[in-house]
Amino acid sequence: MQRTKLEIIDYFQEFIFGFIYNDINKCIKATANYIVTLALLSYTEYLGALIGGHIGLPKKGGLSFTKALSYFPEQCRDINSSLGIEYKDEKGKVKTANGIYKIFRCGVVHEYFIKGPLTKIINNPGGYVDNNRIGIEIEVLPNGDPLYQISSKRLIFRTNEYFRDFKAATDRIYKELLTAFDLDLKKALKKYPSRNSELLEDSDLNSLLLKGFYHSLDMYTSRRMMLELEPKASNVAIKPTFKWPPLSGATSYDFELTTDPIFATITEGTVNTVLTYLVWDSSLEYKTIYHWRVRAISANGVSPWVTSFFTTLVKLHHRHRVSYD
């Protein structure tokens, strides 16, 4: 599949620098302490998945989170490697957890609290950032502190400082992706002088960062494509028009329609088209569930199938009124 530098720029500018940053800023200003903490920790995992090629893959959360943390300040990475706590679960059983992912991210996402006997979230709605602090802190309590009887330390999450470090990490990743693209393109043009000067093929990618990003972009695009498939509802006409969004680098699309949910038998037909829509001319059965799927074809192979289903409308029976005079 062909890759462009513009794909990197558009994705970061629209989705990360646009949607994600605006989302977090609004939560900070609204003093939505829990929501902004949840967003920052979840987006950290997402950022690692994006560059690691893990988007959409199960059981990769910890790996993705650690990948993103490698771009955070050294103090944050040191805390991540050394932090460990004991806590009691909902049944009172003593458990242990280690690292920022398990204690902060998993605690907030799954248990609505940072794991640990003493925790605190500090959020400044005015946006003030203390440049002498980082987003994750361990506060050692003095022996005379009333809270010392509960724990000798308190875990603190500072939303403003963490967001600062998150943005710095994102900026660094963005610049590394653009630099890696330029380097791989330079090597490709040296090897193939007649090649288009703005495009890379998958076989040209040497940077692991680029490979991870474009793999994640493919998964993201496939998921977006799934959300935008039409039709995907009930009471669909028996001669429907199927639509899907275009995929970058695609030269055509394979389409299949069947009543078989596992597509072992294609009961209605298979079509290859260069368009991103298909008008089904023959009439389908009334009140029937149909399954359909589409995949993109490019010079480098095929994309995964994206599947949907719908139910056709019920046939109306007209009653003739008879009058007796």
Which DSSP letter does residue 149 get? G
Using H for helix, E for strand and C for coil, what is the string for 45-78?
HHHHHHHHCCCCCCCCHHHHHHHHHCCCCHHHHH
Q: What is the pLDDT of residue 99?
A: 95
Residues 6 or more apart from 250 whose CB is under 8 A from it?
296, 297, 298, 303
Q: What is the pLDDT of residue 288?
A: 94
Distance from C-alpha of 130 to C-alpha of 121, rounded to nearest angstrom: 15
What does the pLDDT look like over 24-57, one tens digit per residue? 999 999 999 999 999 999 999 999 999 998 887 7
Mean pLDDT across the chain:
88
What does the pLDDT look like over 124-153, one tens digit per residue? 999 999 999 999 999 999 988 888 888 889
Query: What pTM, to 2 d.p., does this model score?
Result: 0.71
Q: What is the pLDDT of residue 322?
A: 47
Sheet holding 153-158: strands in order across? 119-122, 153-158, 136-140
The domains of the chain, with CATH numbers, are 2-166 (no CATH), 229-316 (2.60.40.10)
Radius of gyration of the chain (CA): 26
Count of Cβ atoms closer than 10 Å to residue 233 Cβ:
10
Distance from C-alpha of 253 to C-alpha of 298, rounded to nearest angstrom: 9
Q: What is the pLDDT of residue 227?
A: 55
What does the pLDDT look like over 54-81, one tens digit per residue? 887 788 999 999 999 999 999 999 999 9
Do 275 and 252 meet the contact criterion of CB atoms below 8 Å apart? no
Listed in sequence order, the DSSP H helices in the chain are 5-11, 21-29, 33-52, 61-69, 74-82, 99-100, 106-111, 159-191, 208-228
When pLDDT is averaged across residues 159-180 and rounded to a whole number, the result is 97
Do 320 and 292 meet the contact criterion of CB atoms below 8 Å apart? no
* Per-residue confidence band for 325, with pLDDT thresholds at 50, 70 and 90: very low
* Per-residue confidence band for 324, with pLDDT thresholds at 50, 70 and 90: very low
